Chains A and B, each alone.
Chain A
Amino acid sequence: MITDAPRIVTSRLGHSDSHTLERYLATGGYEGLRAALARPPAEIREEVDKASLLGRGGAGFPAGRKWSMLRPAEITYLVINGDESEPATFKDHLLIERDPHQVIEGTIIAAYALGVAQAFIFCRGEFALGLERLSQAVNEAYAHGALGRNIFGSGWSLDLVIHPGAGAYICGEETALLESLEGKRGFPRIKPPYFPAAIGLYGAPTVVNNIETMSNLPWIVRNGGAAFAALGQGSSTGTRLFALSGRVERPGWYELEMSKTTFADLIMDPSLGGGVKDGHDLKAFIPGGVSAPWFGPEHLSLGLDQDAVAKQGSMLGSGSVVVMDDTTCAVRAAWRITRFFYRESCGQCTPCREGSGWLEKILRRIEEGAGREADLDLLMDACDNIAPGVSWPPQQTTICVLGPSIPSSIASGIRMFRDEFLLHVKEGGCPMRDAR
């Protein structure tokens, strides 16, 4: 790590048996829960508020504020979003497989703080090993007295169910996730209500939190919210688990102190990304999942900070950074990202369902050599129909944010590499094909 911040969510990952109860108990496991149960739930909520823990799913909404919005009712639910599917994001996958007990302990702490009696972890279906590890850990947690009736003799009880997804990106959107958990197609729900905290699972007030968010809770309870908030700066507190991929020497996961580490550190430092692959030059990078507008080399010095990235017109999003180098074709990259959204659009809203298909077809023909010069304007016109003004953050025309996220990569690609798009049209195909 570049700074001397502690590893909060990846402290066990050096051990090959990091997923076992034995290792977990030997390294402070379930002590956070024991400490939490000795205090009233309101105090746990205060600690999380003090930590200023931002949700780690992508939107970066403060976890404490989300909790405070839970409408009081006889039955409420906690649902953990482990449907990680944002392209190039693989941090929750790692935490589920390698430290499932930490996810579960965090979930139990959150359930206690919120006063719910049943919680669900929605785990992406493709994570077969993750599902097995989580299921094993839940069985162990029940046997250990950390789940079920009268947890650790506290008089408080909780049931936790592991729910497998079945392959649909859109189920990461929290209202689509709840629909899927109700046994339906993963169609996002019409807003308002904006938050499941008002109307969620089966119409009951529901908090939906991310896997990494939960993984931070045992540490926060053991060390205090103030210790967490002392890391990072401004609203970006604590550490974050970054997923680095693409044209880089050392792709992988890196837990880094927020704000105080930069994109240059992450991509170039020999102990982290180790620089662009094979000594090539950096062309562009995606700072936070493919829904985020691209950055160029001039943004390398920017801190890994939610507000700082937002100020520069993109987002830290899901914490996944994709590196493109001088062998990467910008048109092809924009096409592949658009193709993803086209395939994953749920089809409810016209701008997303039709617009994604238009954009995919136009980009494909430019890449394949059948593009026309007017296609660039056509692309931007279609983008404008999906998200008027093609601004950042995008204007909403649809039920969820999937559709309006589509123009971001195309618009930033055209803005940064207009000549390259035009060269495809002029030369009748991809000028970089031979470089691959």
Chain B
Amino acid sequence: MAALTPENFERARAIVALYPKARSALIPLCHLAQSQDGWLTPEAMEDIAALVGVTPAEVRGTASFYDMLHTEPVGRHVIAVCTNIACMLGGAYELLEHAEEHLGIAVGQTTADGEFTIEEAECLAGCDTAPCVQVNHRFFGPLDAASFDALCERLRSGELGGDVPHHGTLCRVERAVGLLATEGERGGDER
């Protein structure tokens, strides 16, 4: 586990330049770090702190507020089962119970082989496909016990690689241009 690679450090600089104040890039940079390592490592948090001009403790203190940012390692596939009202009415708790049994872990735990972590999610805005789950923030639903097991099998075999990149990879489309309209009119960083 590591600090940001030189390539990601350059990506990080480009992201910082998109904001009038550098600290605004803090959360996008946390996502960048997670796309590299699958979670937010202490070393990456130090890099982010230096890039946006805060202390590493402020990065951790901010990141810990947000459900998607993990300051501890997680599995390659984070399965988030929504149990909020619409999914609950569609049998989400029964699905969650099955998921725990099938994978032999409880909510919040990771399988011994590092393949799966189960989370109980709040509404994911997939209520028309209730009960729904996200795997590394890609949607699947409606699911029952059998289709859940089949999904796990396909994830384990790597068959869904293109559709479900490893945990932490959020947006694979990089911005093509910097700021154009406000370029030169004011600095990208007030520090």
Question: Do the beta carbons of B123 and A85 come within 8 Å of each other?
Answer: yes
The docked-state distance in angstroms from the alpha carbon of A128 to that of B164 is 10
- Contact indicator B176/A159 (Cβ below 8 Å): no
Contact with B along A325-360 (1 / 0, CB 8 A): 000100011001100100110100000000000000
Contact A251 B128 (CB under 8 A): yes
Among residues 197 to 253 in chain A, which have CB atoms less than 8 Å away from a CB atom of chain B? 202, 243-247, 251-253
Q: Which residues of B, 24-73, contact A by the 8 Å Cβ criterion?
A: 24-28, 30-31, 52, 54, 61-63, 65-69
Asked if A166 meets B67 with Cβ closer than 8 Å, knowing A118-B182, A125-B170, A126-B134, the reply is: yes
Interface bracket on B:
35 or more
- The answer to whether B171 and A118 have CB atoms under 8 Å apart is no
Residues in A neighbouring B181, C-beta threshold 8 A: 117-118, 147-149, 157-159
Residues of B close to A132: CB separation below 8 A: 171-173
Give the complex CA separation of A169 and B66 in angstroms. Answer: 10
Q: Is the CB of A245 within 8 A of B173?
A: no
Range class of the A interface residue count? 35 or more
Give the complex CA separation of A162 and B177 in angstroms: 12
Number of inter-chain CB pairs below 8 Å:
196
List the A side residues contacting B23 at CB < 8 Å.
182-184
Distance between Cα atoms of A333 and B90 in the complex (Å) = 12
Complex: A138 Cα to B18 Cα, angstroms: 14
Q: Nearest Cβ distance between residue B168 and chain A, in whole angstroms?
A: 11
Report chain A residues within 8 Å CB of B182.
117-118, 157, 159
How far is the CB of A218 from the nearest CB of chain B, in Å? 20
Say which residue of B21, B90, B130, B177 sits within 8 Å of A182 (CB atoms). Answer: B21
A184 to B27, CA, bound (A): 8
Q: Knowing A85-B122, A168-B66 are in contact, say whether A139-B85 is a contact too (CB < 8 A).
A: no
B152 interface residue per 8 A CB criterion:
no
Supply 6 further A-B pairs (C-beta < 8 A) apart from A183-B54, A251-B128, A436-B94.
A124-B125, A132-B173, A142-B177, A157-B181, A166-B27, A183-B27
Residues on B facing A (Cβ under 8 Å)? 18-21, 23-28, 30-31, 52, 54, 61-63, 65-69, 83-86, 88-91, 94, 122-128, 130, 134, 136-139, 170-177, 179-183, 185-186
Give the 9 A-B CB pairs with smallest separation, nearest first: A167-B67, A157-B181, A183-B26, A166-B66, A183-B23, A245-B127, A167-B68, A245-B86, A148-B180
- 11 CB contacts below 8 A, A to B, read A84-B125, A93-B125, A128-B136, A162-B171, A166-B67, A183-B27, A185-B61, A246-B86, A251-B128, A322-B89, A340-B123
